[in-house]
Amino acid sequence: SQTIHQWPATLVQPVGSPLSLECTVEGTSNPNLYWYRQAAGRGLQLLFYSIGIDQISSEVPQNLSASRPQDRQFILSSKKLLLSDSGFYLCAGKGQDNSPLHFGNGTRLTVT
Amino acid sequence: GQSLEQPSEVTAVEGAIVQMNCTYQTSGFYGLSWYQQHDGGAPTFLSYNALDGLEETGRFSSFLSRSDSYGYLLLQELQMTDSASYFCAVREGYNQGGKLIFGHGTELSVKP
């Protein structure tokens, strides 16, 4: 079965600092990978998704970027964090079929 | 535009039955999924409907009517541990490039 590894679990960063969140996938090859953000008490906002290495689609123009240097690695980055970047970031993946989405345990980011 | 509408809160009594609704308006539709998220945790997959009708998995059932752009999740024999947020999600694409758009979720509180 598919497992999504995501770290760190919590992160506190000052405004203007860079960000790098990494996600790796086990149990499936050539997965579709996703980054979602969840504000407190809200739904999941799709930020980026990828169907393959170096193939990234951005859903919401903003202060973040994503990269997929390897088949099972998906990275979320920012050069300069804003206060509004605070939230719960979730990496998710699914196989190239009708399988459901599997989520990592998330990173709770607080920008101060 | 894309939108999924869910009631924000539902309260029910232990042992009872509860129905949580979802209406959607999306540019593509390849199925409706339901996810459960406990406070502070990651969403986990519950059910998926690609075709009209009812899907049953234990105490959970999910219904879809594509002509009405409507679905619901039914929970029977409610338990205190069912207290969580429940999200419906529409799959907008098929296989490669397919992405899930989530609603804002319904927070279910189960009372003794």
| Neighboring chain B residues of A49 at a CB cutoff of 8 Å | 97, 99
Q: Do B96 and A44 touch (CB under 8 A)?
A: no
Average pLDDT in the B69-73 region?
Answer: 97
Q: Do B95 and A44 touch (CB under 8 A)?
A: no
**A21-69 pLDDT, tens digit each:** 999 999 888 899 999 999 877 789 999 999 889 989 888 767 899 999 9
Mean model confidence pLDDT for chain B: 92
**A92-104 pLDDT, tens digit each:** 998 877 778 899 9
Give the CA diameter of chain B: 45
Q: Residue B97 above 60 pLDDT?
A: no
Chain B interface includes A98 (CB < 8 A): yes
Average pLDDT in the A99-111 region?
Answer: 93
Pick from A35, A32, A25, A33: which is nearest to A2 by CA? Answer: A25
Contact between residue B21 and residue B13 where contact means Cβ atoms under 8 Å apart = no
Average pLDDT in the B29-36 region?
Answer: 92
Q: Which of A44, A49, A102 sits opposite B102 (nearest CB)?
A: A44
Please count the residue pairs, one from chain A and one from chain B, whose beta carbons lie less than 8 angstroms apart.
Answer: 59
Pairing between β-strand B70-75 and β-strand B18-25 as defined by DSSP bridges:
antiparallel
**B82-93 pLDDT, tens digit each:** 999 999 999 876
